[in-house]
């Protein structure tokens, strides 16, 4: 799996570019490893 956060990309053509619009785009920050899994488990316990 991957660690994904919300992000955006500028539209580079047409109406979107002319008006400075962006669209939602998921951003992969990193791929999960043992350390990420341990942090996730700790966060679950604290909730």
Q: Using one digit for the tens of pLDDT, what is the confidence trace for 3-21?
A: 899 999 999 999 999 999 9
CA 2 to chain CA mean position, Å: 10
pTM of the entire predicted model: 0.51
Q: Which helix (H) or strand (E) holds 35?
A: helix 34-46
Q: What is the pLDDT of residue 12?
A: 97
């Amino acid at each position: 799996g991957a660690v994904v956060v919300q992000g955006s990309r500028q539209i580079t053509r047409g109406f979107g570019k002319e008006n400075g619009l962006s669209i939602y785009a998921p951003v992969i920050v990193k791929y999960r490893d043992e350390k990420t899994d341990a942090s996730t488990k700790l966060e679950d316990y604290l909730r």
